[in-house]
A and B are shown apart, each in its own frame.
Chain A
Amino acid sequence: MKTQMTATERMSRLLAVVPWVVERQGAPLDDITTRFDYPREQLIKDLTEVLFFVGVHPFTPDALIEVDISDDIAQISYAEWFSRPLRLTPSEATRLLTAGRSLLMHPFATTDERSEAASPLLRALTKLEMALGTAADQAVEVQLGSAPLDTLETLRTAINQQLKTEIEYYTFSRNELTKRTVEPFRLFSDKGEWYLQAWCHLANDERIFRVDRTITAQLSNEPAREPTSTRNRTLEPQKDNPRVLLRLHPSCAWVTENYPTVSSQTDTDGNLEVEMLVWSQDWLERLMLRLGDQAEIINIDAPYSASLVSTAAQKVLERYRELR
């Protein structure tokens, strides 16, 4: 709960609390506190020392809101200006709609959640859509990830039943396929991809795997140990990874949209100078192969060297020069 609330945070809450209390002709303070995330002390103070003095000119008793707290029940009357809830802004309404739609399209949404009669979420979204406009039911679509459904399903079963699982995993940053035994304990979506957090026997450590790069997943009947940690591991390269400074042609701006950057600026010719953390040598090699002569390494930390680009290009070229 908030410790120090700003005037607007308190006001937003009060504008929601007043109509709610008025409609019920009084409500217990504890209910208001939990429902509106309003610390009890602050709530009492705001009701008795602020709202009690609110009204319109000339602020005679008949032009003021009346607040009464007795037996921990708050009563509010003569508050007709605030007796109806404030509208949802378009931003708030579209946020609710987007979150709700995301959950409905979630691959593990139950049929109950998707069928109108049974689903409070669907009923709520329908009301929101009616308020937003005639085409609102078509307006938003969210895919939390693009992994194959059967793989997701297997991994979810592994988590629910705590089973060790054999996976074939494609390590993109090293461009290699490995077989591993993992003990899955969390599936989550980030930036439009599904990830699996698991204990990995090959690494003998906790690892995060992209589900779409999990080529096969096979449940074993061996029980997994209790989850070792529930901390949310970061997906980004570690801050102490070596760094690379690149000069990119403006057409390569997608690089900064797809990978985290340390800094990015535009020089006088419109080129971008971008500093990034290096995930791995293979990752950087392939990025540079893709960018071709539209990108250049200006500076790179040891142990890497700018010559890695030509070495990588040479390696691919060898394949093209082999006699077939």
Chain B
Amino acid sequence: MDKLERLLNLTAALLHTSRPLTAQELRKRVGGYPEAKVAFRRTFERDKDDLRSMGIPLRVEPISGTDPPIDGYRILRSEYTGHNLQFEPDELTALNMATNAVRLDGGATGLLKLGGSTTQLEAAEIGRVPFNEKLALLITAAAEGRAVGFTYADLDRLVEPWRLSFVKGHWYLAGWDCVRHDQRLYRVDRIASQVDLRQHATQPRATPTDPANLRMWELGDEEPQRVRVMVDADHVAYFCYLMGEDPNHYDPATGITFEVRNVAAFRSLILNFAEHVEVIEPAAVRADMVRWLEALT
């Protein structure tokens, strides 16, 4: 029997049944499985993985009255179909165009399930955006209003996600940190552990910080210092753009001043411009820069 036929029969049997079926019952009802016990088990396990990989919500429930308990399997029709999303043809075409124009890394978009699309578009790809399962889970949690647990910077976190933003090449999670009782921003690629869905969110949503406006040198616990720098004329425009400043705020005679709460981050940013940017004051920050550079000579 063709593997496809067995998988379809298995799915039909699991949808058809009104009670969970054991592996042995399925073996009899579906057919097409190897005779030998070990080979059957291996094939059956693989079939379950295949169903799950297609997004089929396979339920595993203990069969009542068995001791030791035996696993039973079935698929609930309501879970199989989920929301009955009905899209108009022009909506499907629009989604098809969006997925062609913006390529997300890995994985299928599920457009086929919605009825595919007849318009074969030669739409130009305008961009690529990284994407993965962890992100899908975080977006789902934000959409459903569920808390998530994960490890970040060596600490266990319990977070109510508000928004996932892709900014300057990185995905950020903005949300409420339930342990630290504060709004926080996390880099998704630095979430070190699995993400698991937890209880429903309780904290009212606020407007999340926009990662695009993040000024790394302002994110720190140091006493704020006003740091003045001079920039070579050729580099003013790009320097100001990178620092999120209007180039008209740059005064050729005195330079430009920033409020700095994280000297290390500030130093790292301005060293992108090597000898074309110079820290003028305060003396302590200037001396820190000199020390940093001298350590390299």
Chains A and B bind each other: yes
**Which A residues have a C-beta under 8 Å from some C-beta of B?**
7-8, 10-16, 20, 31, 34-37, 46, 49-51, 53-57, 59, 81-82, 84-100, 102-103, 106, 119-121, 123-124, 127-136, 138-146, 148, 168, 170, 172, 175-177, 186-193, 212-213, 215-216, 257-258, 282, 285-286, 288-290, 292-293, 309-310, 312-320, 324
Whether A189 and B91, one on each chain, are in contact in the complex, defined by CB atoms closer than 8 angstroms, is: no
Q: A318–B271 Cα gap in the complex (Å)? A: 14
Q: Chain B nearest CB: distance from A13 CB in Å?
A: 6
If A57-B28, A191-B128, A290-B268 touch, whether A317 touches B163 (CB-CB below 8 Å) is no
If A133-B143, A139-B139 touch, whether A81 touches B296 (CB-CB below 8 Å) is no
Q: Which residues of B contact A123 (CB under 8 A)?
A: 88, 91, 94
Whether A317 and B50, one on each chain, are in contact in the complex, defined by CB atoms closer than 8 angstroms, is: no
Whether A146 and B168, one on each chain, are in contact in the complex, defined by CB atoms closer than 8 angstroms, is: yes
Q: Which residues of A contact B130 (CB under 8 A)?
A: 191
Those of B39-91 within 8 Å (CB) of chain A: 50, 53-57, 77, 79-88, 90-91
Q: Which residues of B contact A168 (CB under 8 A)?
A: 237
Dominant SS at the B interface? helix
Q: Which residues of A contact B189 (CB under 8 A)?
A: 257
Q: A288–B128 Cα gap in the complex (Å)? A: 29
| B257 close to chain A: CB less than 8 A | no
Q: Chain B nearest CB: distance from A175 CB in Å?
A: 6
Contact partner of A16 (CB less than 8 A), chosen from B50, B115, B120, B126, is B115
Smallest CB gap from B208: residue in A: A138
Q: Which residues of B contact A319 (CB under 8 A)?
A: 275, 278
| B219 close to chain A: CB less than 8 A | no
B137-179, CB under 8 A of A: which get 1 and which 0?
Answer: 1011011110000000000000001111111111000000000
| B99 close to chain A: CB less than 8 A | yes
Q: Which residues of A contact B184 (CB under 8 A)?
A: none
| B8 close to chain A: CB less than 8 A | yes
Q: Chain B nearest CB: distance from A321 CB in Å?
A: 8
Whether A141 and B166, one on each chain, are in contact in the complex, defined by CB atoms closer than 8 angstroms, is: yes
Dominant SS at the A interface? helix
Whether A98 and B126, one on each chain, are in contact in the complex, defined by CB atoms closer than 8 angstroms, is: no
If A31-B118, A46-B4, A292-B292 touch, whether A188 touches B126 (CB-CB below 8 Å) is yes
Smallest CB gap from B267: residue in A: A290
Contact partner of B275 (CB less than 8 A), chosen from A98, A119, A316, is A316
Whether B129 and A102, one on each chain, are in contact in the complex, defined by CB atoms closer than 8 angstroms, is: yes
Whether B9 and A54, one on each chain, are in contact in the complex, defined by CB atoms closer than 8 angstroms, is: yes
Those of B79-118 within 8 Å (CB) of chain A: 79-88, 90-95, 97-99, 101-102, 104, 107-118
Q: Chain B nearest CB: distance from A307 CB in Å?
A: 10
Chain B contact-residue range equals 35 or more
Whether B114 and A85, one on each chain, are in contact in the complex, defined by CB atoms closer than 8 angstroms, is: yes
Q: A95–B8 Cα gap in the complex (Å)? A: 26
Whether B91 and A127, one on each chain, are in contact in the complex, defined by CB atoms closer than 8 angstroms, is: yes
Q: A138–B104 Cα gap in the complex (Å)? A: 19
Q: Which residues of B contact A132 (CB under 8 A)?
A: 139-140, 143-144
Q: A130–B85 Cα gap in the complex (Å)? A: 10
11 A-B pairs with C-beta separation under 8 A? A12-B108, A15-B54, A36-B116, A82-B12, A87-B55, A87-B82, A98-B102, A138-B163, A139-B143, A193-B168, A315-B275
If A54-B9, A102-B127, A316-B275 touch, whether A88 touches B289 (CB-CB below 8 Å) is no
Q: Which residues of A contact B273 (CB under 8 A)?
A: 175, 286
Contact partner of B112 (CB less than 8 A), chosen from A12, A49, A192, is A12
Contact partner of A136 (CB less than 8 A), chosen from B99, B101, B143, B167, is B143
B263-297, CB under 8 A of A: which get 1 and which 0?
Answer: 00001100111111010100000100110111111
If A286-B274, A317-B293 touch, whether A140 touches B113 (CB-CB below 8 Å) is no
Whether A212 and B241, one on each chain, are in contact in the complex, defined by CB atoms closer than 8 angstroms, is: yes
Q: Which residues of A contact B80 (CB under 8 A)?
A: 84, 86-87
Q: Which residues of A contact B102 (CB under 8 A)?
A: 98-99, 102-103, 106, 142, 144
If A102-B98, A141-B166 touch, whether A16 touches B112 (CB-CB below 8 Å) is yes
Smallest CB gap from B78: residue in A: A87
| B251 close to chain A: CB less than 8 A | no
Whether B271 and A290, one on each chain, are in contact in the complex, defined by CB atoms closer than 8 angstroms, is: yes
If A56-B29, A127-B85 touch, whether A88 touches B113 (CB-CB below 8 Å) is yes
Whether A120 and B90, one on each chain, are in contact in the complex, defined by CB atoms closer than 8 angstroms, is: yes
If A91-B136, A189-B128 touch, whether A121 touches B143 (CB-CB below 8 Å) is no
Listed residue (B139, B237, B273) with the most chain A CB atoms within 10 angstroms of its CB: B139
| B222 close to chain A: CB less than 8 A | no
| B249 close to chain A: CB less than 8 A | no
Whether A37 and B112, one on each chain, are in contact in the complex, defined by CB atoms closer than 8 angstroms, is: yes
Q: Chain B nearest CB: distance from A39 CB in Å?
A: 14
| B180 close to chain A: CB less than 8 A | no
Known: A11-B7, A50-B8, A133-B144. 15 other contacts (CB 8 A): A59-B31, A84-B77, A84-B80, A87-B81, A92-B113, A96-B111, A98-B131, A121-B97, A127-B86, A144-B129, A146-B212, A177-B237, A190-B127, A318-B275, A324-B280
Q: Chain B nearest CB: distance from A38 CB in Å?
A: 9
Smallest CB gap from A86: residue in B: B113
Q: Which residues of B contact A313 (CB under 8 A)?
A: 293-294, 296-297
Smallest CB gap from B210: residue in A: A141
Whether A188 and B125, one on each chain, are in contact in the complex, defined by CB atoms closer than 8 angstroms, is: yes
Q: Which residues of A contact B56 (CB under 8 A)?
A: 86
